[in-house]
Amino acid sequence: METVGLIGALPLPNADETSKVTGFELHGGENQRWYLEQTEEGHWTLKTEKGPYLGRYSEDEGTNVIGTDDPVHWDIWPDRNNGDWFRIYVPGAPSPMNIDLSDHGNPANGTPVTLWGEWEGEHQAWVFQEC
């Protein structure tokens, strides 16, 4: 596996397993830094510096995105409308299921990040930046 970059603004509040991931103003803290690693199968894992991976309880719409001790695979693809943005998908889902800043992209700190069916909402697209 190769570490290719970092992502911010998806903080893991307590930086431990089972914490719900929420949207939060970018501040550069350790809990907003995600290391991306590509697997041999071409999927990705996202992991904080201290260990928890970006994960999920299930693949159902509305499921909270959480921190987990075990690696969870994701697919990452450019957004069709803006090549600078990316979508983070559940691999092999029956219909495209991606990470969504809930409440139609509510910018308030603490807004839950969930899985939701893909649609044109910009709050389902993420910008990767090196930290």
The model's pTM is 0.87
Is there a contact between 88 and 116 (Cβ–Cβ < 8 Å)?
no
Q: Which amino acid is at 112?
A: P
Question: Counting runs of H as helices and runs of E as strands, what totals does the chain give?
Answer: 1, 9
Mean pLDDT of all residues in 42-54: 91
Mean pLDDT of all residues in 47-67: 91
The third-level CATH classification (topology) of the domain covering 3-124 is: Trefoil (Acidic Fibroblast Growth Factor, subunit A) (2.80.10)
Q: What are phi and psi of 41, to 5 degrees?
A: -80, -5
Query: Looking at the predicted structure, is the pLDDT value of residue 4 above 90?
Result: no
Using 50, 70 and 90 to split pLDDT, how confident is the model at 51? confident
Using 50, 70 and 90 to split pLDDT, how confident is the model at 7? very low
Query: Looking at the predicted structure, is the pLDDT value of residue 17 above 60?
Result: no
Mean pLDDT of all residues in 40-45: 97
Written as six digits, the tokens of 28 are 């550069």
Mean pLDDT of all residues in 93-109: 93
